[in-house]
């Protein structure tokens, strides 16, 4: 953790100390647990049965952690070995559910922070899904399709035994898009001899995938921003929006921002960001990032009024709304201050934990509407649950029906977080609201199901 963490209430201090002692080299996991513990203290005061039932001690420990070797052969005939992970955090509300991330930065701490967050996010959607996350330190960048396929086949050759439509249902995340999901699903089908559509979400729409799943996280984050603004009798119409990232979440956040009358002006990747005062051209961005798998500077090279800023993040650009959609801890306190100084009104997190604790405190302290990822990016997993329903009932819903459902789910997620924040005396604080509403649901189910 790069920034000082705020003091913890006495009711949760001991649990956090145990988490730190047991997981000493896992700063991201500690950060995610800390954020939840700080914000659910009022829930514990009101529900002493959660403390007596040992809910906290149990919820911070994954039900199961799987780590495995992933050997594969590259195009030059050399043996490569990566490490695979699946952390199955909680199945109290339904089968484990959460994405797979392929990125060189992946380690146990990252997978555990994501899996922990996923429990409460999934609970907040109101659907019957548990929390999990997985992935590998494999880097798909610069790898041929054949190498990616061989890696995915090796990865699934181990992971398949832990998955299943009633057990654990993965999806995509950073570095795991349509191509990787296809290869992973294909290998699962071959090994098990089962075309078990419900064991993976984010599938191609031609073979069991749901309409709007690809768009859902980005669209959902923009719907969430719209809901926060609506409470203050504002809309997105005419506002300038900055988005970070240029992957699945970012592209569709930019797309939906345009559709709702805003002008998205930035996109980024790990090399830097582009700012385009004419508004980001979604078709060109998709061409550069999805088709050519090129660097973001290529976008600026082809747009007359766009410029590439090397090695920087887009938060210095003046905007009304910011939607961080790349990765964890990509918006720190000084970025938050730059946004505030430039008059930002709302921040909705498309990524998981993109804002550091210092950034969140600064934004909330300045009265900026702040939608944490647990709520604002829940549209992706909620639409995954819709994909599971369609697979189970062998139905296919249209794009417009699915988008209508997504919009209504995002309104419900917003309202649940807003209402819980109010109920616990933290009106307008969506961090407290999202954590409290998600935690309440999980804790009640854990109490009902006994000590397991
Ligand atoms: P993608 O792989 O499609 O895109 C990731 C984007 O973020 C790329 O532009 C990538 O740039 C950039 N990025 C990744 N790591 C870094 C880094 N360390 N520094 C700067 N930029 C970085 O992933 P998604 O769009 O699916 O995921 C983005 C975020 O949204 C993640 O936090 C993920 O957990 C979260 N999320 C995703 C959901 C989904 O449905 N896909 C659901 C809910 C949350 P580069 O190409 O240079 O690596």
Q: Which residues are catalytic?
A: 133
Token pair belonging to 266: 């930035």
| Domain end residue (candidates: 207, 232, 260) | 207
Residue 321, φ and ψ in degrees, nearest 5: -135, 135
103 inside domain: yes
Give me the domain span that covers residue 157.
64-207
Q: How confident is the model at residue 8 (pLDDT cuts 50, 70, 90)?
A: confident
Residue 7's pLDDT is 74
Q: Report pLDDT digits (tens) over 399-449.
A: 999 999 999 999 999 999 999 999 999 999 999 999 999 999 999 999 999
Residues 152 and 73 in one domain: yes
Residue 403 lies in a domain: no
Looking at beta carbons, which pairs linking 68-71 to residues 24 or more positions away fall under 8 Å? 68/158, 68/159, 69/158, 70/136, 70/138, 70/151, 70/154, 70/155, 70/158, 71/154
The predicted pLDDT at position 2 comes to: 40
Cα 447 to ligand 1 centroid, rounded to whole Å: 35
Q: What is the reported pTM?
A: 0.96
Q: Do residue 340 and residue 233 come from a single domain?
A: yes
Mark whether 76 and 151 lie in a shared domain: yes
pLDDT digits (tens, 9 = 90+) for 37-83: 999 999 999 999 999 999 999 999 999 999 999 999 999 999 999 99
Pocket of ligand 1 (CB under 6 A): 172-175, 177, 217, 245-250, 269-270, 325-327, 330, 350-352, 377, 380
Q: Which helix (H) or strand (E) holds 169?
A: strand 168-171
Q: Does 168 have pLDDT greater than 80?
A: yes
- Would the pLDDT of 1 be above 70? no
Calpha distance 429→434 (Å, rounded): 9
My answer on whether 300 and 371 are in the same domain is: yes
Please report whether residue 355 resides in a domain. yes
Residue 174's nearest CA partner among 133, 210, 206 is: 133
Question: What's phi and psi for 125, nearest 5 deg?
Answer: -70, -15
Residue-level pLDDT at 232: 95
Which of 110, 327, 381 to mutate to test ligand 1, by most ligand atoms within 8 A of the CB atom? 327
Claim to verify: residue 54 and residue 119 sit in the same structural domain:
no
Average pLDDT of the residues of the chain: 96
- pLDDT of amino acid 4: 38
Percent of the chain with pLDDT over 70: 99
Exposure on the CB side of residue 286, measured as CA atoms within 13 A: 11
Closest CA to 353 of 30, 32, 87, 124: 32
Task: Output the CA torsion 325→329→333→335 (10° steps).
Answer: -40
Residues 53 and 70 placed together within one structural domain of the fold: no
For residue 122, pLDDT over 90 is answered with yes
**With contact defined as beta carbons under 8 Å apart, do 21 and 102 qualify?**
no
The DSSP element (H or E) to which 84 belongs, if any, is strand 79-90
Q: Is residue 406 assigned to a domain?
A: no
Using a pLDDT cut of 90, give the percent of the chain over it: 97
For residue 350, the ligand 1 atom closest to its alpha carbon is 30
The domain boundary residue, chosen from 155, 187, 207 = 207
pLDDT of 143-155, one tens digit each? 999 999 999 999 9
How many structural domains does the chain have? 3
- Do 193 and 294 belong together in one domain? no
Asked if residue 408 belongs to a domain, the reply is no
Reply yes or no on whether the pLDDT at 125 is more than 80. yes
Indicate whether 382 belongs to any domain. no
Residue 247 Cα, ligand 1 centroid: separation in angstroms?
Answer: 6
Q: Which of 376, 409, 426 represents a domain boundary (last residue)?
A: 376
pLDDT at 6: 57
User: pLDDT grade, residue 5 (50/70/90)?
Assistant: low
CA nearest ligand 1 atom 43, residue: 377
Helices (H) and strands (E) in the chain, counts: 17, 13
């Amino acid at each position: 953790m790069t920034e000082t963490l705020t003091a913890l209430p006495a009711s949760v201090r001991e649990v956090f100390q145990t988490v730190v002692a047991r997981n000493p080299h896992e700063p991201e996991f500690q950060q995610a647990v800390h954020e939840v513990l700080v914000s659910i203290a009022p829930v514990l005061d009101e529900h002493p049965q959660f403390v007596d039932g040992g809910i906290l001690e149990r919820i911070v420990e994954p039900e199961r952690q799987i780590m495995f070797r992933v050997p594969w052969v590259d195009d030059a005939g050399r043996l490569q070995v990566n490490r695979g992970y699946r952390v199955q955090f909680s199945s109290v509300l339904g089968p484990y559910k959460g994405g797979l991330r392929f990125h060189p930065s992946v380690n146990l701490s990252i997978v555990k922070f994501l899996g922990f967050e996923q429990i409460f996010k999934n609970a907040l959607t109101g659907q019957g899904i548990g929390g999990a996350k997985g992935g590998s330190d494999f880097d798909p960048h610069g790898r041929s399709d054949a190498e990616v396929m061989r890696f995915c086949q090796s990865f699934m050759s181990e992971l398949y035994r832990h998955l299943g439509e009633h057990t654990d249902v993965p999806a995509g995340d950073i570095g795991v898009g349509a191509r990787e999901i296809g290869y992973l699903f294909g290998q699962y089908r071959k090994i098990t001899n089962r075309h078990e559509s419900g064991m993976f979400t984010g599938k191609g729409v031609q073979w069991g995938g749901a309409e709007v799943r690809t768009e859902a996280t980005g669209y959902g984050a923009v719907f969430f921003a719209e809901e926060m603004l609506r409470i203050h009798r504002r809309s997105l119409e005419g506002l300038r929006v900055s988005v970070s990232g240029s992957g699945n979440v970012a592209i569709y956040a930019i797309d939906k921002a345009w559709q709702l009358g805003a002008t998205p002006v930035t996109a980024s990747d790990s090399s830097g960001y582009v700012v385009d005062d004419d508004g980001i051209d979604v078709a060109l961005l998709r061409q550069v990032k999805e088709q050519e798998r090129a660097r973001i500077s290529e976008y600026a090279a082809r747009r007359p009024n766009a410029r590439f800023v090397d090695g920087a993040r887009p938060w210095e650009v003046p905007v009304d709304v910011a939607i961080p959609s790349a990765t964890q801890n990509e918006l720190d306190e000084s970025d938050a201050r730059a946004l505030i100084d430039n008059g930002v009104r709302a921040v909705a997190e498309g990524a998981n934990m993109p804002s550091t604790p210092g950034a969140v405190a600064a934004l909330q302290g300045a009265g900026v509407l702040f939608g944490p990822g647990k709520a604002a990016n829940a549209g992706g997993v909620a639409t995954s649950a819709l994909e599971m329903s369609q697979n189970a009932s062998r139905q296919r819903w249209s794009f417009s029906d699915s988008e209508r459902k997504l919009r209504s789910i995002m309104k419900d997620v917003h309202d649940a977080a807003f209402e819980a924040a109010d109920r616990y005396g933290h009106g307008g604080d969506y961090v407290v609201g999202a954590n409290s509403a998600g935690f309440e649901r999980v804790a009640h189910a854990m109490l009902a199901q006994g000590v397991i």
